[in-house]
Structure 1
């Protein structure tokens, strides 16, 4: 279905589609409880709700919360959309599946902006400002047998993500890879990325990875 993205809210792109595909192929138990961390437009939350799951979505942006609620209504699905910082609004809860397409773009900033659309992608100088937090916080929300699906750029470090999730007691693997052409953000800072060693001057694409991590019984 078509989704609405209000001004300042991240519009579904290649990373969203890649993660949605992994979500579609994941086997869900009847009445599955699903959490979408950093929901943005609510695309992944809606995708899970369309499969009959009981869905909770979280975003720190008020506009994203409004957008996700609007898209849930357009899809005629009931989704609980909460405003808050990553997993804080659902602390103490447990889920069968957690999905996340967080900010992961490396950039020449020590901290992400406090407002505006760039908050959807800026992730500090190594691209892991949010990823490392997610790897620490999400495992405690998984039920036994629960699964975490995460998408991000390989520029931000595939190995640290796998290591962090495994250190938290999960069985983690890279589920999918896809090469996509640089978008406007990466093109605008390609010189900086080259200087920092993230890309080569002739690079025109990045690799996206979907990580699957499971809490074994």
Structure 2
């Protein structure tokens, strides 16, 4: 089943969009020198598009993770090693050389939220950082000492606020890619310790 068919088959799974392509391009560029011993985790894999690109374009071993059981199933069907996980909770300390994440980042009024898997894939809470902040707090545990994080953020969430939060968890941040749209600018941050 091709990607176009999947959009109809998996309506509860976030499918590739501009943010997915930007993150995949930046992560693949950043991991161009990876080798077969490097381990990469994609948190919130959705359709598995980003993890699939990293798997196809680098020699690194890729693990895809998502809380959404529909996303886990779709990523597995794409041939990816996939784990159902809330952020990084089931993974061992220092297990990954790189972690990639396209988090739910759209600021959402709590009165307008609905409880389904697509909402969880999109809604970043009132400030857009309801998932980003806990991720930044938890990801250092699973990251190898010289590891890197590729995190997609939106101008709607406040890139400077995300950089500041990352700094509070021991990361320095540099923007490695961005793309502007009429209502937001998407930025991929490379986070290093």
User: Normalising by the residue count of structure 2, what TM-score does the alignment of the two structures yield?
Assistant: 0.88
| Alignment gaps of 5+ in structure 1 | 73-78, 181-203
Alpha-carbon distance change, 111 to 98 in structure 1, aligned in 2, over 3 angstroms = farther
- 2:98 corresponding residue in structure 1: 97
Tell me, in whole angstroms, the C-alpha distance in 1 between the residues paired with 2:76 and 2:94. 21
Cα contact 2:93–2:143 (8 A) shared by 1? no
Tell me, in whole angstroms, the C-alpha distance in 1 between the residues paired with 2:97 and 2:35. 10
- 2:82 corresponding residue in structure 1: 81
Deviation at 1:107, TM superposition (A): 1.1
- 2:50 corresponding residue in structure 1: 44
Q: Does 1:64 align with 2:68?
A: no
Cα contact 1:104–1:121 (8 A) shared by 2? yes
String of CA shifts for 1:80-120, please: whole Å, max 9, x gaps: 21112111121435211110001000011179654331211
Question: Runs ≥4 in structure 1, deviation > 3 angstroms?
Answer: 2-5, 110-114
- 2:184 corresponding residue in structure 1: 206
- 1:149 corresponding residue in structure 2: 150
Tell me, in whole angstroms, the C-alpha distance in 2 between the residues paired with 1:86 and 1:208. 21
Higher mean alpha-carbon deviation, 44-53 vs 107-116, is at: 107-116
- 2:15 corresponding residue in structure 1: 11
String of CA shifts for 1:19-52, please: whole Å, max 9, x gaps: 0110121134312100000000011111121122
Tell me, in whole angstroms, the C-alpha distance in 1 between the residues paired with 2:112 and 2:134. 14
Alpha-carbon distance change, 133 to 113 in structure 1, aligned in 2, over 3 angstroms = farther
| Alignment gaps of 5+ in structure 2 | none
Q: Does 1:54 align with 2:64?
A: no
Task: Give the structure with higher Rg (CA).
Answer: 1
Cα contact 1:92–1:141 (8 A) shared by 2? yes
Q: Does 1:138 align with 2:139?
A: yes
Cα contact 2:107–2:157 (8 A) shared by 1? yes
Cα contact 1:58–1:89 (8 A) shared by 2? no
> How many residues of Structure 1 are paired with residues of Structure 2 in the alignment?
185
SS of 2:78's equivalent in the other structure is: helix
Tell me, in whole angstroms, the C-alpha distance in 1 between the residues paired with 2:92 and 2:128. 25
Please give the root-mean-square deviation of Cα atoms over the aligned residues, in Å. 1.8
